[in-house]
Chains A and B, each alone.
Chain A
Amino acid sequence: MLKGLSIALFLSVWWVVVEVGFLGFDLLRTPLETAVSLSSFVLGEAMGSGGESLYVHGYHTLYRVLLGTGLAIATAIPLGLACGWSDWWRNYVYPSLELLRPIPPVAWVPIALIAFASEFMGIVWVVFIGAFFPIFVNTMEGVAQIEPEYVRAVKSLGGGRWELYRHVVIPHTIPSMITGTTIGVGIAWIAVVAAEMLSGGPGLGYITFQSYRLMDTGVVIVGIMVLGTIGALSSSVVTRVGGRITPWSDEVGE
């Protein structure tokens, strides 16, 4: 009951501020107008002047996020395991990564554009950086939290180095990896939107900002809604997949 009221309240506030023109809200569209333009874009109408549809923009953005996050998972997990488990990696590799970690991913945009000489690779790099550090840090912390009793248990059962990795270190750390990936995907979305706004399109971040320049606020709001929806979907995919992989853990899942 109250939940429905909450949503209704949200929509009415939106409506009222646009109609009344509170601050600069009169430049935006009402919920109804937004619903109309959303449905036409969903049906494939071109967004703004470029002529590409919602799906073309969505595809480019999603592709960058998937690629960047995929690369981040593929590198951050092994590095996190290594830095968490081995003194050598922790002593000699980890400090360098710690130095780079506080740099916000979007600050890499100009560096990546110069270094890669390709807009596409530049944006993917920024997404990669955004997703990498949360996964890396969480994996490493997950390894640090392994109780020595488990290690002793496997050793006393005759397990060697490899068995230790396979039966204790990796499974014990999976929930932390998933937590890290959830955070990483969220930051990847921030990174991709900002990078596209800065460096150009096609892409959802690009078209949202481009339409603002052309004062086409209908497209702006739809762009934000679509970004929110895909963002929510992608984090729920991570949580669901995570819950499937780790049925023993109550850290991940709904």
Chain B
Amino acid sequence: MVEWNNNDRVAGILLVEDDPSVRTALELALSRQGHSVTAYGTGEEALDHVRARRPEIAILDVMLPGINGVEVCRRIRKLDQLPVILLTARGDDLDIVVGLEAGADDYVVKPVEPRVLDARIRAVLRRVESTATDRISFGDLVIDRGALKVSLAGREIHLTPTELRLLLELVRHPGQVLNRRYLLRVIWDHTHAGDSRLVDTCVQRVRAKLEKVPANPTYIQTVRGFGYRFSPP
């Protein structure tokens, strides 16, 4: 069976925030929660850091001088499956959607309470831990629940931890419609009034990697107004 490992882990956090006060304050708060934080003021510095030190999670301010947080996220995605949380000062819907499409796992709106940020970090970092070693296949799609690997027609597909958790959750209930609220709760730990665009963009990213024609999906189907369903071909 697939289980979520939710123990009190501390993470190596890459924080990118241009405002020195906010940067210092977040460093203080996150360190106090037990995380080890490395903070930078620009995206360029941060990208160098990703290559050199390989943190466990990146927290990116969207409005940055030079290349912005969304672009940093996009470049990180090309390098790595590193989880990314966007820190948006605007709460601007467009920024959020663009950021999520660029591959961000979650976002928080400033001013954020440290407790909330910590909860989001832990939710995104939660790894899938498997006690089962089975491989299941649906046509070309093969999911190895022991090694946590997904392949399509023999070619391995790289999913971020969030994307993998979403896929595994859908696969766990084949043919059953899972609503967005449920998915937000189990994947993102959003206990209330979560943003369902997190689910929608994540599904789109998984489809882009999985489906032959993402606009006409066969594995993950949309049930309008309700949610999503995994239907084995």
- Same complex for A and B? Answer no
Chain B interface residues (CB < 8 Å from chain A): none
Binding site for B on A (CB under 8 A): none
